[in-house]
Amino acid sequence: MKPTTVPGPPQMALVVHPDLGVVSALQSALAQKGFTAIIARDLPTALLAITQHYLEIAVVASHLQENGDGWPLAGVLHLVFPRAYVAVIDRVEPDILTLQAAINYGVREIYQQSTPAQDLVSSILATFEKSSPGARPTVQ
């Protein structure tokens, strides 16, 4: 018998970026893939969202109010949601220290801000679905 998808609770994503254009584009791209995306443009709003939702994907800008302050937030998201896919958006191409920061904060991938939202979400979901085969349960 063909497996049937069991409808579960909505899959939640958090997008934290100070640029309204970026958050809107990512929210829309995630919604097209079936995710409910919560958006935050600053740290307090992001922290509030963390207390109110169970997140499976988080995309955080490396720069919120000041340079690099998005990294500790990414680290917090990794600690609170250990199975979530946490990605960081940076303005420039990563260097060795950026890659080290990503490893040490538990970030799965770094994307450049110039990456189109659809491509970014497709790339995240390709890895997310591979690492979470049980994310959408099925019955036989």
Partner 1 sequence: MRKRSILIVDDEDNVLHTLRMVFENEGYEVATASSCHRALEILDDGRSFDAVLTDLNMETEDIGLEVARAAGKRKPKPAVVICTGFATMENSRESLDLAVDYMAHKPVELSALISALNRLISRHRDLRGRR
Rg (CA), the chain: 15
Of the two residues 16 and 101, which places its CB atom closer to partner 1 in the complex?
Answer: 101
* Residues 108-127, interacting with partner 1 (CB under 8 A): 108-110
Of the two residues 79 and 126, which places its CB atom closer to partner 1 in the complex?
Answer: 79
Q: Output the smallest distance, CB 115 to partner 1, in A.
A: 17
Token couple for 59: 């995309």
The rounded distance, in Å, linking the Cα atoms of 121 and 5 is 22
59 CB-contact burial (10 Å; exposed 0-12 / middle 13-18 / buried 19+): buried
Q: Pick from 31, 79, 80, 126 the residue near partner 1 by CB under 8 A.
A: 79
Of the two residues 69 and 109, which places its CB atom closer to partner 1 in the complex?
Answer: 109
Q: At what angle do helices 70-80 and 43-52 cross, to 10 degrees?
A: 10
Interacting residues toward partner 1 by CB under 8 A: 79, 82, 95-96, 99-100, 102-104, 106-110
